[in-house]
Amino acid sequence: MMRLPRFEVLFPATVEEACTFLDKHGPQARVMGGGTDIIPAAKLGNIQPTCVISLKGIHGLKGVTYQEKEGLTIGALTPLVLLRQDAFIRGHYQALAQAASVVGSPQIQRMGTLGGNLCLDTRCYFYNQSSSWRRHRPVCFKMGGDVCHVVPKGKRCHAAFSADTPSALIALNAKVKLVSSKGTRLISVGDLYTGDGKEPMALRPGEVLTEIQLPPITHQVSVYLKYRIRKAIDFPLVGVAVQIARNGKEDGCDQAKIVLTAVGPGPVEVFEAEALLNQASLSKEVIKKATEMAIHVAHPVPNIGSTPTYRRKMVGILIQKVLSQLVKEMVLGGGKGVG
């Protein structure tokens, strides 16, 4: 039986107090939302915090609001189940609702938060194991060593980014608000990630993610599709988020966003395919070429399940399915995405 290590648990009443605790306790302090990631990691010995700062008691970090000029604002502690069930989000920010609906199990969705899913650590077969299992192998980059067991000649950590909601939020042009004792900054969700499997988050010391902001409703359709071994519980082996802003034509695209997850150490935006789709009619030939571009930028390694070859193939299958069905939605005028 794996037991939690000893650590102090702090319950700040405000974001400012949480930042003060982070400044005081330094890098060994961990911020906790729902606890669905940090608690298992502590049990495995992946992390060894001296204290955990729970945000649950902070008023105002939970809930969804929409204003016509500012857009949609979601508190970082908003549970994933609320995003899945919210009719407004399902109707206008479909990719986010779909991504939230496939995170883990229903129990995880009730406990897990949007902010926590955004800050989810990278995963690897050789990292997400008990300390006794890892003891019999050389220490990997992720644990502070100098070897990657997945890419033996690699010079960096190749742990896979496996969160569902970030790719959907990047496709929807979302931003995050980060607060520390030094001030507040607003950055795009894409800029939240380093692309480094060892240290995947670009958070500065002492920063707390407090809210997610999405732009106002436009004439767009979006979708998130996920490939995993089991329908429930499992992390994605491939995830695809797509948003298409409509230009008035039945199958016309004004602006496209295509973002992959679980095929690298961070979310992967397919810029070449986006440029191809922008201002284009989404014909079968254009969709085929965009699919090939997406496959080209996906570089999964054998670290979280299935084979890299099959996962790259699934990238193409999911992109083809998403774009083809989005075109149908646009022609029918529904604009409600696909599931």
Average the pLDDT over 324-334 and give the result. 71
Residue with the bigger pLDDT between 333 and 327: it is 327
User: Would you tell me the crossing angle of helices 308-332 and 284-297 to the nearest 10 degrees?
Assistant: 150
User: Tens digit of pLDDT for each residue in 250-271?
Assistant: 566 888 999 999 999 999 999 9
Residue of 101, 239, 242, 224 whose CA lies nearest to 171: 242
Q: Report the percent of the chain where pLDDT is more than 90.
A: 84
CATH domain 1-56 topology: 3.30.43
pLDDT value, residue 287: 93
Chain mean position to CA 281: 29
Let me know: does 255 contact 226? Beta carbons within 8 Å. Answer: no
Q: What pTM value is reported for the model?
A: 0.94
Residue 288, Cβ density class (10 Å: 0-12 exposed, 13-18 middle, ≥19 buried): middle
DSSP H helical segments within the chain, as ranges? Answer: 15-25, 38-44, 80-85, 87-92, 94-101, 106-111, 114-118, 131-134, 165-171, 271-277, 284-297, 308-332
Query: pLDDT at residue 155 above 50?
Result: yes
Average the pLDDT over 119-143 and give the result. 94
Residue 317: pLDDT band (50, 70, 90) is: very high
Q: State both tokens at 220.
A: 């767009």
Q: Report the percent of the chain where pLDDT is more than 70.
A: 95
Average pLDDT, the chain: 93
User: Tens digit of pLDDT for each residue in 82-111?
Assistant: 999 999 999 999 999 999 999 999 999 999
pLDDT value, residue 247: 58
Distances (CA, A) of 173 to 165, 313, 317: 12, 27, 24
DSSP H helical segments within 79-141, as ranges? Answer: 80-85, 87-92, 94-101, 106-111, 114-118, 131-134
Average the pLDDT over 207-231 and give the result. 93
- 220-227 β-sheet, strand order: 220-227, 238-246, 253-261, 268-269
pLDDT value, residue 121: 97
Domain regions of the chain by residue span: 1-56, 68-118+161-332
Residue 331: pLDDT band (50, 70, 90) is: low
* Among 68-77, 225-234, 301-310, the least confident range: 225-234
pLDDT value, residue 334: 47
User: Tens digit of pLDDT for each residue in 5-47?
Assistant: 999 999 999 999 999 999 999 999 999 999 999 999 999 999 9
Let me know: does 12 contact 53? Beta carbons within 8 Å. Answer: yes
Let me know: does 319 contact 239? Beta carbons within 8 Å. Answer: no
Query: d(Cα 35, Cα 104) in Å, to the nearest integer?
Result: 13
Query: d(Cα 131, Cα 44) in Å, to the nearest integer?
Result: 6
- CB neighbours of residue 21 within 10 Å: 18
Q: CATH assignment of 68-118+161-332?
A: 3.30.390.50
Residue of 306, 325, 198 whose CA lies nearest to 262: 306
Query: d(Cα 86, Cα 34) in Å, to the nearest integer?
Result: 19
